[in-house]
Structure 1
Amino acid sequence: MKKSKSSGSSLGYLTKEGFRNLRVNKLMTFASITVLFSSMFLMGIAFMIYTNIEAMVAGIEQENVILVYIEDDTDAVEVVNLKTEIMNIPNVKSCDFKSKDDAFEEIKKEYDNAEYLDGLENPLPDSYIVTVLDMTQFSQTVAQIKGLDNVMRTRENSDLAGKLASAKKAISVVSLVIIALLFIVSLFIISNTVKITMFSRRLEISIMKSVGATNRFIRWPFLVEGVLIGIISGIISTLAIWGVYTLGMRFLSRSFSIMGKGVDITVYLPYLLGAFLILGIFTGIFGSATSIRKYLKERKFVELEDL
């Protein structure tokens, strides 16, 4: 019982030392947080740019629909059955009915001299407005719809669909490559920053070893320090991305109407914070553990004149 209590108090003391190290080594703490923050911030901004481009492409995709015109002599039951058959096609996302009367009224609203259309027989057929799930299968979906009974014809823009599918794929690949490169470069920079931090504190480690401190006793405060730096960096990065993104989208939406309001960042904030905390804690622990190992293995103590 005493041993457990003693180990608990010892662990508490070492944890407090980790907190104290942040205050004592202010310059290196600031440098580590700055490097980690910069890396996370760039990755977060790159991710939000990617999500906005994806949303813009998806919005254009929604406008690229398939208009399915129904044969004039089709009865009500067959019209309902046709919708069921269209929805049974795997790539179909939605299928909305538009009556010939509604379509004719829309044309009247767009036509400047709508009064000339009054009294004329409605030449338009009933139709279904179909959206798809995967634009790469757009042409195949159109062919399947054309093969159904009671379909007079379809109207669509297959060329635009193909270009959108290619653009979406290219954007995804380029964005993921950029984020991956930023991640790799960030790990490299962060690991070197941690090594510099440990190198600057090798005398401190050597003194603790010279007075008989165990490796666990020496290592624990550094691990706590690494975790705290990771957590602080993750929180600051998330807040900074939220602020910069909100202001940036506000400016862009005023300058470029095509941008709209952009993707709602509050949806992604919990995921960004979680990812940054995991990355920060992992980097802090891994960087501290691997860097301090070298100095824990050294048998020769560092002398003041060696610094």
Structure 2
Amino acid sequence: MTIAAVSSVMITLVLVGAFLSIIMNVSKLATDIENNVRIVAYMNLDVHDQEQKVTDPKDSSKQITNADYKKVYNQLTKLSDVKTIKFSSKQEQLNQLTESIPTYKLFKGDANPLYDAYIIEADSPNKVKSIAAQVQKISSINKVNYGGSSTTKIFAFAKSIRLWGIGLAALLLFMAIFLIQNTIRITIMSRQREIQIMRLVGAKNGYIRWPFFLEGAWVGLLGSIIPSLLLAWGYKIAYNSLLPSLRPQQLYLYSPSSFIPQITGIMVVIGVLIGSFGALLSMRRFLRI
């Protein structure tokens, strides 16, 4: 029966560990997607906000001081809830497009039709829409792009993922408690005669309860060893397989070096606590006078 109890704990914790790993990482990816939403403010073609010298409109061969140098940037820095502001020249954007399509040199020999832009990151994803509205009011801004309705859907999706994740995690823990406790209860019931004999010779409840408490803890601990090893091995494989496809989108799973000790600790604690306290709860009926 002890082997059966350890096996039951083992199977249950394998399922719990696998599903918790999936739920936690999916929730993290949803948060990363949410945090990757940026506001891109495109400036008018005649605005040279990051150039101290500009071409004289009256004499193309002459450079003059730019009276509007960093005028837009200074207005952006005054906005509340802004975390970072990064300038992206139209040439940088053209280079990025060219790199993403290496077999086709865009606008080669032609004038660059793109706009200089500021990439703005908000302190909180929920502030993106309000910041975009404020940026649009700046006179030198031609267009503001933050995803619009798609961004709202992303935020809603991320929120639902986190809520469902918490719900599924709670359900999994409840199932683990139920399955492990029932198995330990059957183990104790098989030793009912032993408990009755100890009571008949005058053993106190604490004396009877303590060995079963320790046995339940050991059952939980032994049952968590193999699931922890399997999870560590499987998670490293999954992480290395998915990282190349997620990295270009600035999405990352939890690092194995930090995640594996964390999830392993969770499974060991679940196994030991459910095993020990499950044994105590299962013995209550046998210790009643």
TM-score normalized with structure 2 length = 0.76
The 3-state SS of whatever aligns with 1:116 is: coil
Alignment of 1:178 onto 2:178: no
Deviation at 1:259, TM superposition (A): 9.1
Deviation at 1:201, TM superposition (A): 0.6
1:112 maps to what in 2? Answer: 105
Alignment of 1:66 onto 2:39: yes
From 218, 225, 249, the equivalent of 1:235 is 225
- Checking the alignment, whether the CA contact within 8 Å between 2:239 and 2:256 is kept in structure 1 is no
Q: Which residues in structure 2 correspond to 1:148-163 (within 5 Å)?
A: 148=138, 150-163=140-153
From 243, 250, 267, the equivalent of 1:276 is 267
Contiguous gaps of at least 5 residues in structure 2: 50-67
Structure-2 separation of matches of 1:45 and 1:237 = 9
1:200 maps to what in 2? Answer: 190
Q: Which residues in structure 2 correspond to 1:284-299 (within 5 Å)?
A: 284-298=275-289
Q: Which residues in structure 2 correspond to 1:70-81 (within 5 Å)?
A: 70-71=43-44, 72=47, 74=49, 75-81=68-74
- Checking the alignment, whether the CA contact within 8 Å between 1:136 and 1:161 is kept in structure 2 is no
The 3-state SS of whatever aligns with 2:142 is: strand
- Checking the alignment, whether the CA contact within 8 Å between 1:39 and 1:182 is kept in structure 2 is no
Identity %: 28
Deviation at 1:103, TM superposition (A): 3.1
| Change in CA separation of 1:58 and 1:187 when aligned onto 2, cut-off 3 Å | closer
* 1:83-103 CA distance string (max 9 Å, x none): 423xx432x443211124433
From 218, 223, 244, the equivalent of 2:208 is 218
* 1:155-195 CA distance string (max 9 Å, x none): 23212212211221222222222221121122122221122
* 1:280-301 CA distance string (max 9 Å, x none): 2321222111222322235xxx
1:5 maps to what in 2? Answer: none
Q: Compute the RMSD of aligned alpha carbons.
A: 3.1
Specify the code of the residue in structure 2 equivalent to 1:39: T
* 1:48-78 CA distance string (max 9 Å, x none): 2123323443454466432112350643342
Specify the code of the residue in structure 2 equivalent to 1:294: R
From 227, 235, 245, the equivalent of 1:245 is 235
Structure-1 separation of matches of 2:106 and 2:207 = 87
- Checking the alignment, whether the CA contact within 8 Å between 1:29 and 1:229 is kept in structure 2 is yes
Q: Per residue, is there more helix in 1 or in 2?
A: 1
The 3-state SS of whatever aligns with 1:152 is: strand
Deviation at 1:221, TM superposition (A): 1.1
The 3-state SS of whatever aligns with 2:25 is: helix
Contiguous gaps of at least 5 residues in structure 1: 1-27, 299-307
The 3-state SS of whatever aligns with 2:202 is: coil
Q: Per residue, is there more strand in 1 or in 2?
A: 2
TM-score normalized with structure 1 length = 0.72
- Checking the alignment, whether the CA contact within 8 Å between 1:135 and 1:161 is kept in structure 2 is no
Structure-2 separation of matches of 1:297 and 1:113 = 84
| Change in CA separation of 1:107 and 1:209 when aligned onto 2, cut-off 3 Å | closer
Specify the code of the residue in structure 1 equivalent to 2:234: V
Deviation at 1:211, TM superposition (A): 3.0
| Change in CA separation of 1:106 and 1:172 when aligned onto 2, cut-off 3 Å | closer
Q: Which residues in structure 2 correspond to 1:112-151 (within 5 Å)?
A: 112=105, 114-117=107-110, 120=111, 122=112, 124-132=114-122, 134-148=124-138, 150-151=140-141
Deviation at 1:243, TM superposition (A): 1.9
Specify the code of the residue in structure 1 equivalent to 2:130: Q
Aligned residues: 263
- Checking the alignment, whether the CA contact within 8 Å between 1:135 and 1:164 is kept in structure 2 is no
